[in-house]
Amino acid sequence: MTSLTIPELRHKLSIGAVKPREIVDALATRVAAIDPKLKAYNYVNADSARAEADQADITKPLGGVPIAIKDVINVQGDPCTCASKILQGYVAPYDATVITKLREAGAVFFGRTNMDEFAMGSSTENSSWGVTRNPWDLDRIPGGSSGGSAAAVAGHEAFAALGTDTGGSIRQPAALCSCVGLKPTYGRVSRYGLVAFASSLDQIGTFTKTTEEAAMLLEIIAGHDFLDNTSVDRPVPKYTHSLHGGVKGLRLGVPKEYFVDGMDPEVEKAIRAAIDEYKSQGAKIVEVTLPHTKYAVAVYYIIATAECSANLARFDGVRYGKRAANPKDILDMYGRTRAEGFGAEVKRRIILGTYVLSSGYYDAYYNRAQKVRHMIAEDFRLAFQKCDALLTPTSPTAAFKIGERTQDPLQMYLADIFTIAVNLAGICGVSIPCGFTSGKLPIGLQIIGPKWGEETMLRVAHAYEQATPWHKEKPPL
């Protein structure tokens, strides 16, 4: 049962072939059998999920459907640790806006998925809960930072999951685990109730098995929220109604900067084959240029670390979370609480961010990075005058082995080289399954849309998905 899509599940519920509690039971059985190997979840409360299932209204859009939540989004009464020692023991006192919307749609909340600590990482190795593994190869990473959500959906431990994307943290793990990962336009989905990493880049999105489910969930969680002053007051389209338009006559851009030296030849071959598939469906392929792409990683790791430094200042041992035992004074409490509570990657980014914001370096680094960010956004604006969506690889390689890059932060950061610019520009992107390497490791195709361009972007994604078998493949677990 756990391999069903949400529409298939909803059909079974509607005809009485299955009850919501039976769905939760099936999922709990699957997680008990598989998760000791996969380690996708930090926390599961099957009894609470059963109680919610018993009260589910199956006439609602998600009535009785269990959803997994990345452990950085607040769900009232559940722990919200951000995979960090500094927040272990913290229980969320309120619901994030996306959780409120999912509740109103009838969803059941099943568990909390693992992640890189405070969403800082590309492999889900930076977690105080331990390493999540890729369901296609347990010796490899699932991507990050939302690796637990991706692994849970791909491993049929969840029907769908929420994640967050600050520099590729939904799209990259979706590519490496072979599921659909959607990062909406900045401001399309409320961030209220999300523990902030980099506030101008963070965006809540979804992991699903198909593009139809991605469209369904986006319809539910999108919309203006007065509790988040960065959310934009625009009507929410019926994304599911636009899926079946096909790509005939659409202009699809291929940016030359996204086919670089060092990219896995099998990844490039799969992406080129996807481009040919779009040609065969009647799309017009247009070469475009995004000349400032080469600066994206450097710009991102200045802006993101600066915002992280500011946002994580609140974790000081005073208001909530961990507090160092027997401090000598308040400075000792601050210092030891943060030293004991944060992991190495989080400390690295706080130090970098504090440095680029410090007196004498602000203009040289942070201010200059913001100027280049605007140039990157302008590149996309000009490209979208020539095309309706862009086609790129999601990741330059398939999933790498656990431990392979932990001693080389730069190589780890380069894992997001094709996804970071989308966050800097505040536009939308989705990764969909696009084949496998000769070693049966998933490859992802990234489709990038302009601001508020999710309708066309999902339509392009759906056209490829329906013409190929990749989304139907199941991992060997």
Task: Give percent of the chain above pLDDT 70.
Answer: 100
**Average of pLDDT values for 269-292?**
98
Q: Report whether 168 contacts 182 (CB < 8 A).
A: no
Q: What percent of the chain has pLDDT over 90?
A: 96
The domain made up of 6-245 has a fold known as Amidase signature (AS) enzymes (3.90.1300)
For residue 178, indicate whether it is catalytic: no
Q: What is the pLDDT of residue 319?
A: 86
pLDDT at 285: 98
- Compute the Cα dihedral for 247, 249, 250, 254 and give only its sign: positive
What pLDDT, in 10s, does the model give residues 214-272?
999 999 999 999 999 999 999 999 999 999 999 999 999 999 999 988 899 999 999 99
The DSSP output letter for 83 is T
Q: Please pick, among 128, 145, 146, 309, the residue that the annotation labels catalytic.
A: 145
170 vs 167: CA distance, rounded Å: 9
Interval 111-133: pLDDT, tens: 999 999 999 999 999 999 999 99
What CA–CA distance (Å, rounded) separates 116 from 69?
A: 14
Catalytic: 70? yes
Establish whether 146 is a catalytic residue. Answer: no
Report which of 341, 339, 335 is spatially closest to residue 322, judged by C-alpha positions: 341
Among candidates 208, 205, 74, 199, which has minimal Cα distance to 154? Answer: 208
| Residue-averaged pLDDT of the chain | 97
Domain extent listing, the chain: 6-245, 294-372
The pLDDT value given to residue 413: 87
Does the pLDDT at position 186 exceed 90? yes
Q: Which pLDDT belongs to residue 320?
A: 84
Confidence tier at 411 by pLDDT (50, 70, 90):
confident
Residue 134 has pLDDT above 90, yes or no: yes
Of the listed 70, 101, 209, 451, which one is catalytic?
70
For the segment 27-53, what is each residue's pLDDT rounded down to a tens digit? 999 999 999 999 999 999 999 999 999
Q: For position 477, what pLDDT does the model report?
A: 79
DSSP string, 153-185: HHTTS-S-EEEE-SSSTTHHHHHHHTSEEEEPP
Three-state DSSP class for 262?
coil
Is residue 97 very low, low, confident or very high in pLDDT (cuts 50, 70, 90)?
A: very high
pLDDT 10s digits, 322-373:
999 999 999 999 999 999 999 999 999 999 999 999 988 999 999 999 999 9
Q: Which one of the listed residues 122, 146, 169, 190 is annotated catalytic?
A: 169
Residue 352: the pLDDT is: 96
